């Protein structure tokens, strides 16, 4: 832009729609073209791509900190809105008592009164269950198909407990996972684990992969190095990793794996 503009140059959702349209293969082609362009411009060389650094991190999702009371109350509000949109008259929306139970649960949790907080969370589960059953009794088949996803999400929230595997942490992003990174300031991060491979000298990204299911770092090393070799078209000779990859990487024959603060290599 040569002059000041009050409007945005494009819609904020355009990038998301474009990324979904080209898919994973399109993004990998762009990354491979970036690597080749870097080598053609002299920013990196074939030799520098042979020594890499491999690591994993967490790509956090744009969600608020998940709590049971917040998810239950929000699911009830969404179901009540959907029922009103499709012309379903509910016996009770629990708007006033649900909002009060949610605020009380937040206060008790902040004060460390967890037994009282658990009672309020149980009330929120009861309110949500009543709304779900009321909708299922009154909704017809065409409208039920439109509301099926939200009804299944609400039932999943009601059924899940503290130790339930694959818990639901977000209504609009059900793929979010809870990952413990061991950080002092942030014990848990909510998102998806990502594997990165960068060149040792320039820090050029050679591979980036999403790892669903929170796998162990050592189990992802071979696939990450193979993906980096495919995109860069250069065989990797040495890979430097941290202590999260201990006692793994013995099935990697093409490259030598060097671990942090160790003079000897793994292979």
Residues 77-103 have pLDDT tens digits of: 999 999 999 999 999 999 999 999 999
Angle at 224 between CA 15 and CA 186, to 5 degrees: 70
10 vs 158: which has the higher pLDDT: 158
SS in 3 state form for the chain?
Answer: CCCCCCCCCCCCCHHHHHHHHHHHHHHHHHHHHHHHHHHHCCCCCCCHHHEEEEEEEEEECCCCCCCHHHHHHHHHHHHHHHHHHCCCCCCCCCHHHHHHHHHHHHHHHHHCCHHHHHHHHHHHHHHHHHHHHHHHHHCCHHHHHHHHHHHHHHHHHHHCCCCCCCCCCCCCCCCCEEEECCCCCCCEEEEEEEEEEEECCCCCEEEEEEECCCCCHHHHHHHHHHHHHHHHCCCCCEEEECHHHCCCCCCCCCCEEEECCCCCCCC
Q: In the structure, what pLDDT confidence band is assigned to residue 251 with cuts at 50, 70 and 90?
A: low
Write down the pLDDT at residue 47.
87
Write down the pLDDT at residue 157.
93
Q: What is the mean pLDDT of residues 219-236?
A: 89
Q: What is the mean pLDDT of residues 23-52?
A: 89
Using CA atoms in the order 15, 20, 23, 24, what is the torsion angle rounded to 10 degrees?
Answer: 80
Classify burial at 182, counting beta carbons within 10 Å of its beta carbon; exposed 0-12, middle 13-18, buried 19 or more: exposed
Q: What is the mean pLDDT of residues 234-254?
A: 74
Write down the pLDDT at residue 262.
66
Residues 193-209 have pLDDT tens digits of: 999 999 988 889 999 99
Sequence-distant (≥ 6) Cβ neighbours of residue 260 within 8 angstroms = 240, 241, 242, 243
Q: What is the mean pLDDT of residues 229-236?
A: 90
Sequence-distant (≥ 6) Cβ neighbours of residue 189 within 8 angstroms = 58, 60, 178, 179, 180, 181
Question: What residue segments make up the domains of the chain, in order of their start?
Answer: 23-28+41-62+178-259, 68-159
Q: What is the mean pLDDT of residues 7-26?
A: 86
Question: In whole angstroms, what is the distance from residue 52 CA to residue 173 CA?
Answer: 33
Q: pTM of the prediction?
A: 0.77
Average confidence score pLDDT of the chain: 88
Write down the pLDDT at residue 249.
54
Q: Which of 4-8, 26-30, 147-151 bottoms out in mean pLDDT, i.e. has the lowest? A: 4-8
Write down the pLDDT at residue 159.
93
Q: Is the pLDDT of residue 165 over 60?
A: yes
Percent of residues, the chain, with pLDDT higher than 70: 94
23-28+41-62+178-259: CATH topology is Nucleotidyltransferase; domain 5 (3.30.420)
């Amino acid at each position: 832009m040569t002059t000041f503009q009050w409007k945005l140059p494009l819609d904020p959702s355009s990038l998301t729609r474009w990324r979904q349209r080209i898919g994973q293969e399109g993004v990998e082609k762009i990354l491979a073209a970036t690597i080749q362009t870097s080598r053609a411009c002299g920013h990196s060389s074939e030799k520098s791509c042979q020594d890499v650094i491999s690591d994993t991190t967490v790509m956090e999702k744009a969600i608020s900190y998940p709590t049971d009371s917040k998810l239950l109350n929000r699911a009830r509000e969404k179901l009540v809105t959907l029922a009103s949109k499709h012309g379903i008259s509910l016996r009770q929306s629990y708007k006033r008592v649900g909002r009060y139970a949610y605020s009380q649960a937040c206060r008790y949790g902040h004060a460390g009164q967890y037994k009282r907080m658990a009672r309020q969370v149980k009330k929120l589960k009861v309110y949500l269950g009543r709304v779900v059953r009321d909708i299922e009794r009154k909704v017809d088949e065409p409208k039920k198909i439109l509301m099926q996803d939200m009804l299944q999400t609400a039932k999943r929230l009601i059924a899940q407990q503290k130790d339930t595997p694959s818990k639901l942490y977000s209504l609009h992003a059900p793929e979010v996972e809870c990952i413990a990174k061991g950080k002092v300031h942030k014990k848990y991060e909510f998102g998806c684990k990502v594997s990165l491979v960068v060149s040792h000298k320039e820090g050029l990204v050679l591979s980036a992969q999403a790892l669903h299911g929170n796998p162990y770092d050592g189990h992802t090393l071979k696939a990450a190095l193979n993906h980096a070799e495919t995109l860069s078209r250069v065989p990797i000779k040495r890979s430097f990793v941290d202590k999260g990859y201990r006692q793994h990487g013995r099935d990697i024959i093409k490259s030598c794996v060097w671990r942090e603060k160790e003079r000897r290599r793994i292979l």
